[in-house]
Amino acid sequence: MIRCIAIDDEPLALKQIAGYMKKTPFLEMAGLCESALQAIELMENTVVDLMFVDVNMPDLSGIEFVKSLENPPKIVFITAYSEYALEGFRVDAIDYLLKPIGYGDFLKSANKVKSWFDAQYQKSDEIRSNKDFLFIKSEYKILRINLDEIKYIEAMSEYVRIHSINSKPVMTQLSMKSIEEQLPDDRFMRVHRSFIINLSKISVIERNRIVFDGSVYIPVSEQYKPRFQEYIDKNFLT
């Protein structure tokens, strides 16, 4: 699924795009915004693969907004004026839609985006790893993450969030099973349906919960408790 948002200061236009998103099987609507500022706030906590952006908005135009982003997602511009198309392509927009927008035109643009993503995933696997680090795809980038810097990995619906030392969490579209299979089992352990931990980063265990940073409590579920207890017993000083 391609997670997308729409940004348009016209409520009716925004409602129309929302309807088209819901109608398209490979798109997942992650949010609707009436301004660029709303979009910036939404994107701080939401993974976005694609933005449908109106060019003509007050305060900050769609093109100015996209140019302000350090790592923008894929872009389809929406405009009532065809002369904006060339400027849109200068900021690497995949396509532009001319108002009024019919579903056929919307679907054609959405298929262009899907073809781009399909080509990217054919070029490389979702995850590659060795004993010291792994590569993951996140927000159109391939990131290297050192295994010894990972504290824990958290399941987030169709995504996982990797929490590391001294860096912001990284989200990537992977299943817990696929990333667990790539991690060395002598260094990482699944302790809950939603959590994998780096065993070397454990410093406090309290009431069947692993404590990170004094405020993050990760539960050890009954399913994974025997293996985790075996690890503790092997390393317990008596």
Domain range for 215 is 127-234
Low-confidence winner among 75-79, 130-134, 161-165 (lowest mean pLDDT): 130-134
Model confidence over 146-172: pLDDT tens digits?
Answer: 999 999 999 987 789 999 998 889 988
Low-confidence winner among 82-86, 181-185, 186-190, 193-197 (lowest mean pLDDT): 82-86
- Asked whether residue 206 falls in the same domain as residue 180, the answer is yes
- Asked whether residue 7 falls in the same domain as residue 48, the answer is yes
Mean pLDDT along residues 177-200: 91
How many other CB atoms sit within 10 Å of the CB of residue 116? Answer: 14
- pLDDT over threshold 50, residue 123: no
Q: What pLDDT, on a 0 to 100 scale, did the predictor assign at position 119?
A: 73
Q: Phi first, then psi: give them for residue 63, nearest 5 degrees.
A: -70, -45
In the three-class reduction of DSSP (H, G, I as helix; E, B as strand; rest coil), residue 128 is classed as strand
Domain total in the chain = 2
Percent of the chain's residues with pLDDT above 70: 90
Model confidence over 211-220: pLDDT tens digits?
Answer: 998 889 999 9
Q: Which of 123, 149, 184 is the last residue of a domain?
A: 123
Q: Which of 70, 96, 123 is the last residue of a domain?
A: 123
Residue whose tokens read 């009024």: 100
Cα separation, 207 vs 201, in Å, equals 18
Beta bridge partners of 27: 2
- Asked whether residue 102 falls in the same domain as residue 49, the answer is yes
- Asked whether residue 75 falls in the same domain as residue 44, the answer is yes
In the three-class reduction of DSSP (H, G, I as helix; E, B as strand; rest coil), residue 91 is classed as coil
Q: What pLDDT, on a 0 to 100 scale, did the predictor assign at position 213?
A: 87
